[in-house]
Amino acid sequence: MVQERIAAAGNTDVPAYLTLTKLGYLVERTNSDGQEHWAAKKGTLELVASGPLELLGLCLLRNERGPCWQAGDSEIDEFLKRFYRSAG
């Protein structure tokens, strides 16, 4: 069986944008002072990131964790122990 693999690259921007619009978000791109900014808005929620794929990640984060999406102290400690052993 062949394992499927998707890597974050330029070819994921359009599918990420299409997914956000399908989910009802209005996606906008702005460029100020040579900096590119992306925003996705739906109702009172605004997501801001450097590209469509990051916007989609924020969308999933908010959908899965809700308005209290931030990690608690114990979750942060567990993350640091797993991925940054020297910090734990």
pTM of model > 0.85: yes
Give the residue from 43, 44, 47, 77 showing the smallest Cα distance to 60: 47
pLDDT tens, position by position, 8-46: 999 999 999 999 999 999 999 999 888 999 999 999 999
The predicted pLDDT at position 33 comes to 87
The predicted pLDDT at position 40 comes to 98
The predicted pLDDT at position 87 comes to 61
Q: What percent of the chain has pLDDT over 90?
A: 91
Residue 39 CB coordination number (10 Å): 15
Q: Region 44-69: what's the mean pLDDT? A: 97
